[in-house]
Amino acid sequence: MKKKVYLRTAVGALSGLLITMAALQASAQDWPTKPIRIVSPYAAGGVGDTIFRLIAPAMEAKLGQRFVIDNKTGAAGNIGTAEVVNSKPDGYTFLFAPTANFAVNQHLFPSLGFNPVTQLDVVYTVAEAPLIAVTGPTGPATLKEFASQARSNPQKFNFGSPGAGSPTHLAGVSFSQIAGNTMQHIAYRGTPPLVLAMLSGDVQLAFPTLTPVGTQLKSNRLKAIAVMSNQRMPELPNVPTTVEAGFPELVFGNWWVLAGPKGVDPKIVEKFASEIRAALADPATRAKLGEIGHVAYNLGPAETAAFIRTESTRYKTLIERNAIKLDQ
């Protein structure tokens, strides 16, 4: 009698498991069946919103559902990121965020409470804005010349950033090390005041993306001396890369990644990644990204996961080695 009970129990459990697996498989195949929420951890109308809205129409047409951008701001993007980390991994809530929220903040905020490297399932690296070494119109003509002058004139030059711990700050720290740690960092409350400080000559060097300084570069009020990337930017064809300038370690950019909470069905992740890849293949979309200083990055789920692990380790080392704090 006991054997029959055990057998019925086992058969029942197996049937339940098969039904659950079939339901999950059908769910992944049918995805999406309702609008998809994209959490942006920064203010509406920012770069992240702009980039995602460039690729959204093509995906909406293919998937038959719309994307709803939900701006959850605060704490350097940590509030919005935490919301996705703690969301149900049903394939209907995703995070679209930059470098800081995947590779930097966990090393700056001791009480962050989560690790984006291990608690998010990445989908795609969509785009990147390479950082640019920018100086005044009468500043050194090359990055190598700037480093040489800084070494020869300790404390004469400084570099600015839109805030301590930002990728632009960390890029400046890396360059200052090359220049013999002779440069002082000046942190501003955002990029606009940093640009004003550069125009007035209060700051001699900064590492912004193209968008906030594009107008000043075109009018020769500021000068770009290097693109911190492996390849030149079409918008700045005559500006060498840091690799060409002899500084292969100075490759920095602000990249944008889409990710979901841990546990999203891999088939949903792959389907979403495929649609993003197709949207970025459109030359018009790529051209529009270029207009805002970005290039399509095109890294799928596995490549993005490996890339973020590497970047997180790199930033962790840089932050700890230089004892970088948010109040610097």
Tell me where in the chain the CATH 3.40.190.150 domain(s) lie: 35-128+253-321
Q: Is the pLDDT of residue 92 over 80?
A: yes
Task: Check if the beta carbon of residue 201 is closer than 8 Å to that of residue 106.
Answer: no
Q: Rounded distance, CA 217 to CA 196, Å?
A: 13
Residue range 286-315: average pLDDT? 96
Q: Is pLDDT above 90 for 10? A: no
Q: What is the pLDDT of residue 155?
A: 87
The arithmetic mean of pLDDT across residues 243-251, rounded, is: 95
State the average pLDDT for the chain.
92
Distance, in Å, from the CA atom of 133 to the CA atom of 224, rounded to the nearest integer, reads: 6
Question: Looking at the predicted structure, is the pLDDT value of residue 121 above 90?
Answer: yes
Burial grade of 135 (CB within 10 A; 0-12, 13-18, 19 or more): buried
CATH number of 35-128+253-321: 3.40.190.150
pLDDT for the residue numbered 327: 67
214, 101, 202, 139 alpha-carbon torsion, rounded to 10°:
-50
pLDDT range class, residue 177, cuts 50, 70, 90: very high
Mean pLDDT, to the nearest integer, of 76-105? 97
Number of Cβ within a 10 Å radius of residue 13: 10
pLDDT level of residue 4 (50, 70, 90 thresholds): low
pLDDT of 130 over the 80 cut: yes
In this predicted structure, the answer to whether residue 11 has a pLDDT above a threshold of 70 is: no
Kind of pairing between the strands at 132-135 and 205-206: antiparallel
> CA 146, 170, 186 angle in degrees (round to 5)?
70
Q: At what angle do helices 283-291 and 47-63 cross, to 10 degrees?
A: 170
User: In the predicted model, is pLDDT for residue 25 greater than 80?
Assistant: no
Question: Where does the pLDDT of residue 159 fall: very low under 50, low under 70, confident under 90, or very high at 90 and above?
Answer: very high
Q: Is 68 helix (H, G, I), strand (E, B) or coil?
A: strand
User: Which segments of the chain belong to CATH 3.40.190.10?
Assistant: 132-227
pLDDT in the model for residue 12:
53
Residue 215 burial (CB < 10 Å; 0-12/13-18/19+)?
Answer: exposed
User: What is the average per-residue pLDDT within 141-154?
Assistant: 94
Contacts of 322 (CB under 8 A, 6+ apart): 173, 177
Superfamily of domain 132-227: Periplasmic binding protein-like II (3.40.190.10)
At residue 29 the predicted structure's pLDDT band, cuts being 50, 70 and 90, is confident
- The angle subtended at Cα 189 by Cα 208 and Cα 174, nearest 5°, is 45
pLDDT tens figures, 33-86? 999 999 999 999 999 999 999 999 999 999 999 999 999 999 999 999 999 999
